[in-house]
Amino acid sequence: MKTSARPVDPAWLAALHAASFPDARPWSAREFSALLAGPGCLLAHEDQGFALARVAADDAEILTIAVHPDARRQGIGRRLVGELERAAHAAGALTLFLEVAGNNTAAVNLYESSGFACTGRRARYYRQRDGQRQDALILAKPLR
């Protein structure tokens, strides 16, 4: 699944992911290649962003959403989430889950305004490059 004509290049995904998450360990092109080759992988992308999810049985999980910092607040993230919701539902998923750093206010606001609700918390789940740890919020949304 895609939302533009840009070819899916794992190196491009890795570079965009690194630019989008400067405080986190970037995912490598090899990691993206493995995810894309795996079962149930869903990818939505535009020129300045992408979203990756995986469907297993009747659940789907958003693995990552990356939007270039220069292209934020233009609706790209919201469109990508919507694309993943539709694709996950079409693949048989009944619920869409994700984890997000609790201090990522912009992302939390996007997900909550898109109908996701907090169902749990993983204390000190994310490690940042500076060694700090951040809680992960577990969010879920039923797919209709």
Which of the residues are catalytic?
Answer: 99, 111
Collapsing DSSP to helix, strand or coil, 106 comes out as helix
Specify which residues 134 forms β-bridges with.
126
Unique residue bearing structure tokens 């990691």: 31
The answer to whether residues 132 and 116 touch, using CB atoms and an 8 Å cutoff, is: no
User: Is-contact 42 49, C-beta < 8 A?
Assistant: no
